């Protein structure tokens, strides 16, 4: 058996008990063994000279900056010795395989692989296509057709304008004749006007027929080239599709029961049917596949980010992260079959034992203080929520009750309507942005400015829900004002004033490199997990929909 990827611990771990169950990879606290393994791998990354890769940590280093997700999997070998495996997601230093790291499930970049050979054909088709697109004869024909169409359109417009003007004059002549001419002369005028109208119509038909023949002739010359171009595009598409399908079939993942399943078959039952780009190249599937293939016993897994963050997503250097859902959840669903895995904590109701505190109430509405880790509305697997509790407490209340939402992890004030009319009037205030809200948060670091404004558009990360990402192409406008309250112990307490209300807006604007670049304490999605997310909706100001009184409600956080 090839043991080259099995790495014994340099640090003594005899005093650390292994976990009783394997890590639930989509939400976990790193086990002490994986933390030690990660530190040893990070030491290697800092000191190695085996390859060159610009992680963006050294401003003097040149080349494209690419941060990477690395994974460690603590395993037990046949001699009952503990060690660990390491892996990276995607390519590292332009290669899929490196000494010390487990190999990819399938190395598409291996010399003379079908993928390399197939890519050569695709590249040849691309080169031929580019040559056709740059052919001067093709460009001349394309330019001629466009010019002819432009001339025809301009002349047609001129003719139609002349015809409209002539028609207007005929109408005026007819009207004058009806008022001044006798019947015989009027009939003669009408015949003359009719002849004139027919003459214009005949001319227009002749004009259109001439230009149709002229355009057809120039288009036919162009079609000789466009047919060749379209044929090359079709061939390229067919080859790329065939190559991709063959690639999906080559990625075959092993589980602890000895069962293989291809990437294609794993994803055929998912919503998108087709594997997303990069599926199977993440660290976790590589680590588990190697473990099962070499009869090692998996103990615990963890993944961490190394280097600069991507522009759109939020990744902090050295932080641990769960496996991504879009690419890895279907794959790991197969790979973890038959293993004793920790229970999914997201299936446990976080609101058990927590109560909703009523801050203000009258016959029309109420304002409640939602605890952290408490759903605003029912989720996919957990029904308990603010909406459910309110329905239970006010069974006679009608219509929508929840006027707005807070993230599950965010605590603070929520407006509740007791009837549809009040709901509609409060909703209108949110749409008009006449409702004022203020949040308080503790950031994990120190800010240099005293106050500011963040404007970063946000959309959901389709490959890793519920995370959000900054996207200037498809994101929705998201704007936040902020100001410092105090700074101490390397933490910054701030007020947030959201102008828009996007999902995770304050969390993303705090953590993103183009925002405050300082995550909120306890943010398990964009920062580091703590006892709770230090984000609280402390104040809301609105106009009472019935009394029209301007109301301000405030409640302090528990941090």
DSSP string computed for 376-423 = SS--SS---SHHHHHHHH-TT--S--B-S---TT-EEEEEEESSHHHH
Confidence at residue 397, expressed as pLDDT on a 0 to 100 scale: 85
State both tokens at 273: 């049917």
| Cα–Cα dist 144/157, whole Å | 20
DSSP element (H, E) containing 452: strand 451-455
Confidence of residue 510 (pLDDT cuts 50, 70, 90): very high
Pairing type for strands 260-262 and 82-88 reads unpaired
406-427 tens-digit pLDDT: 999 999 999 999 999 999 999 9
Confidence at residue 463, expressed as pLDDT on a 0 to 100 scale: 86
Q: Are 479 and 500 contacting, i.e. CB atoms less than 8 angstroms apart?
A: yes
Confidence at residue 223, expressed as pLDDT on a 0 to 100 scale: 96
* pLDDT > 70? residue 522: yes
Q: How many CB atoms lie within 10 A of CB 17?
A: 10
452-508 tens-digit pLDDT: 999 999 999 988 989 999 999 999 999 999 999 999 999 999 999 999 999 999 999
The 3 state secondary structure assigned to 201-268 is: HHHHHHHHHHHHHHHHHHHHHHHHHHHHHHHHHHHHHHHHHHHHHHHHHHCEEECCCCCEEEHHHHHC
SS3 state at 95 = strand
| Cα–Cα dist 96/407, whole Å | 39
List the domain boundaries for the chain: 7-106+257-345, 131-247, 349-554
Which pTM was predicted? Answer: 0.80
Q: What angle do CA 104, 108, 109 make, to 5 degrees?
A: 100
Q: Are 414 and 402 contacting, i.e. CB atoms less than 8 angstroms apart?
A: yes
Confidence at residue 112, expressed as pLDDT on a 0 to 100 scale: 75
SS3 state at 356 = coil
Confidence at residue 346, expressed as pLDDT on a 0 to 100 scale: 86
Judge whether 407 counts as a catalytic residue: yes
Confidence at residue 344, expressed as pLDDT on a 0 to 100 scale: 92
Confidence of residue 1 (pLDDT cuts 50, 70, 90): very low
* Average confidence (pLDDT) over 328-339: 96
169-225 tens-digit pLDDT: 999 999 999 999 999 999 999 999 999 999 999 999 999 999 999 999 999 999 999
State both tokens at 154: 């301009």
Phi and psi, residue 71, nearest 5°: -130, 150
Burial of 161 (0-12, 13-18, 19+ CB in 10 A): exposed
Q: Are 41 and 88 contacting, i.e. CB atoms less than 8 angstroms apart?
A: no
Q: Where are the alpha helices (H) located in 432-550, listed in sequence order?
A: 505-511
Q: Are 22 and 300 contacting, i.e. CB atoms less than 8 angstroms apart?
A: yes
| Cα–Cα dist 415/522, whole Å | 25
Q: Say if domain 349-554 classifies as CATH 1.10.3720.10.
A: no
- For the chain, give the mean pLDDT: 94
Closest CA to 356 of 334, 395, 308, 388: 388
Could you say which of 50, 107, 407, 523 is catalytic? 407
72-123 tens-digit pLDDT: 999 999 999 999 999 999 999 999 999 999 999 987 767 777 888 888 999 9
Orientation of helix 114-134 relative to helix 183-250, angle to 10°: 150
Contacts of 99 (CB under 8 A, 6+ apart): 4, 50
């Amino acid at each position: 058996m090839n043991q080259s990827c099995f790495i014994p611990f340099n640090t003594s771990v005899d005093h650390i008990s292994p976990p009783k169950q394997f890590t639930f990879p989509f939400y976990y606290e790193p086990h002490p063994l994986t933390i030690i393994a990660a530190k040893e791998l990070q030491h290697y990354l800092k000191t190695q000279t085996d390859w060159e890769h610009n992680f963006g940590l050294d401003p003097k280093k040149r080349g494209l900056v690419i941060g990477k997700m690395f994974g460690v999997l603590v395993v037990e070998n046949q001699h009952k010795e503990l060690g660990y495996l390491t892996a990276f997601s995607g390519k590292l230093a332009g290669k899929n395989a490196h000494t010390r790291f487990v190999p990819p499930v399938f190395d598409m970049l291996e010399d003379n692989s079908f993928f390399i050979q197939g890519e050569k054909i695709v590249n040849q088709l691309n080169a031929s296509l580019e040559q056709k697109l740059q052919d001067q004869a093709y460009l001349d024909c394309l330019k001629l057709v466009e010019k002819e169409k432009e001339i025809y359109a301009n002349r047609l417009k001129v003719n139609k304008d002349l015809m409209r003007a002539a028609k207007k004059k005929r109408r005026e002549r007819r009207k004058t004749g009806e008022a001044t001419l006798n019947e015989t002369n009027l009939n003669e005028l009408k015949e003359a006007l009719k002849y004139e109208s027919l003459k214009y119509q005949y001319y227009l038909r002749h004009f259109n027929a001439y230009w149709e023949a002229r355009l057809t002739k120039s288009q036919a010359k162009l079609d000789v080239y466009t047919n060749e171009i379209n044929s090359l595009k079709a061939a390229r598409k067919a080859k790329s599709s065939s190559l991709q399908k063959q690639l999906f079939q080559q990625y075959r993942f092993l589980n602890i029961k000895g069962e293989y399943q291809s990437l294609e078959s794993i994803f055929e039952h998912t919503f998108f049917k087709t594997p997303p780009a990069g599926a199977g190249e993440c660290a976790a599937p590589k680590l588990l596949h190697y473990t099962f293939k070499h009869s090692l016993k998996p103990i615990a897994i963890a993944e961490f980010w190394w280097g600069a963050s991507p522009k759109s997503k939020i990744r902090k250097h050295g932080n641990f992260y769960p496996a991504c859902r879009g690419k890895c959840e279907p794959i790991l669903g197969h790979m973890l079959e038959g293993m004793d895995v920790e229970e999914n904590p997201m299936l446990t109701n976080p609101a058990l034992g927590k109560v909703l505190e009523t801050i203000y109430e009258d016959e029309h509405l109420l304002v409640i203080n939602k605890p952290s880790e408490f759903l605003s509305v029912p989720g996919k697997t957990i029904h308990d929520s603010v909406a459910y509790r309110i329905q239970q407490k006010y069974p006679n209340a009608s219509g929508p009750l929840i006027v707005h939402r807070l993230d599950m992890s965010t605590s603070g004030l929520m407006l509740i309507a007791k009837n549809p009319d009040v709901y509609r009037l409060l909703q209108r205030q949110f749409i008009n942005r006449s409702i004022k809200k203020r949040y308080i948060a503790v950031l994990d670091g120190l800010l240099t400015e005293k106050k500011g404004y963040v404007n970063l558009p946000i959309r959901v990360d389709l490959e890793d829900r519920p995370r959000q990402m900054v996207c200037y192409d498809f994101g929705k406008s998201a704007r936040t004002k902020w100001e410092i309250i105090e700074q101490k112990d390397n933490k910054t307490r701030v007020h947030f004033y959201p102008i828009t209300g996007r999902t995770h807006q304050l969390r993303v604007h705090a953590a993103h490199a183009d925002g405050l670049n300082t995550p909120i304490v306890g943010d398990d999605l964009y920062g580091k997990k703590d006892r709770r997310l230090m984000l609280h909706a402390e104040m809301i100001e609105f106009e009472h929909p019935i009394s029209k009184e301007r109301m301000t409600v405030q409640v302090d956080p528990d941090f």
